[in-house]
Chains A and B, each alone.
Chain A
Amino acid sequence: DQQVKQNSPSLSVQEGRISILNCDYTNSMFDYFLWYKKYPAEGPTFLISISSIKDKNEDGRFTVFLNKSAKHLSLHIVPSQPGDSAVYFCAASLGNTPLVFGKGTRLSVIA
């Protein structure tokens, strides 16, 4: 049973517009959430994270929002650039147990 779900396998956005990637989770005990970006033929790279005690974290063009009551987090990329085209994974952490990853969303930013 999937604990972390990314229900959109793919997303296309025009360059300069906002990209919103969504992630839902089922375990309310998760206390830390992360987003990773992955280009083809490369390993995932850490992008941004958020603790469950916060509802927003910003880093440049990337903002992660956490809605604990809805068990939902989202990654906003503004403005989107062609170099943002990649697969994005969300992940959730519970204490000292390994991260649980979603299946990923492929973002295509069209020039």
Chain B
Amino acid sequence: NAGVTQTPKFRVLKTGQSMTLLCAQDMNHEYMYWYRQDPGMGLRLIHYSVGEGTTAKGEVPDGYNVSRLKKQNFLLGLESAAPSQTSVYFCASSYSPSEIRYFGPGTRLTVT
């Protein structure tokens, strides 16, 4: 049981480049989330999904897209990276929206 995994762990992008972050969970959870953490800003929700094939916007969705084609995977895409997207990204999954118990280890992204 691997829990929540994230790929990659680190990435450096140039402004304008694109990339996809992959989140996978093996707990059969319906709910999956993407957060970003910036110094002094806490955890801010980017997008989330309440089930396979569904996605919804969170607090800071601009510049990101997501897809949930399979229940176990939640992808976060940056079409044209900007320096403001330099952050640590965490994926999470849960069986209930009111209680997240599992976060991934994070992806540190730097956009130059």
A: residues with CB less than 8 A from B are 6, 9, 31-32, 34, 36, 41-46, 49, 89, 91, 93, 95-99, 101-104
Interchain residue pairs A-B with the least CB separation, the first 7: A43-B103, A103-B42, A93-B98, A101-B43, A46-B101, A32-B98, A44-B103
Q: Are A98 and B42 in contact (CB under 8 A)?
A: no
Smallest Cβ-Cβ distance to A49: which chain B residue: B99
Across the interface, which residues of A come within 8 angstroms of B101, CB to CB? 46
B: residues with CB less than 8 A from A are 4, 33, 35, 40-45, 48, 58, 90, 92, 97-106
Across the interface, which residues of B come within 8 angstroms of A97, CB to CB? 97
Smallest Cβ-Cβ distance to A46: which chain B residue: B101
Q: Are B40 and A34 in contact (CB under 8 A)?
A: no
Smallest Cβ-Cβ distance to B43: which chain A residue: A101
Q: How far is the CA of A42 from the CA of B42 in the complex (A)?
A: 14
Across the interface, which residues of A come within 8 angstroms of B42, CB to CB? 6, 89, 101-104
Assuming the contacts A32-B99, A98-B97, A99-B98, asked whether A42 and B105 have C-beta atoms less than 8 A apart, the reply is yes
Q: How far is the CA of A49 from the CA of B44 in the complex (A)?
A: 20
New A-B contacts (19) at CB < 8 Å, excluding given A96-B98, A101-B44: A34-B99, A36-B103, A43-B92, A44-B90, A44-B103, A46-B99, A46-B100, A49-B99, A89-B42, A98-B33, A98-B58, A98-B97, A99-B97, A99-B98, A99-B100, A101-B35, A101-B43, A102-B42, A103-B42
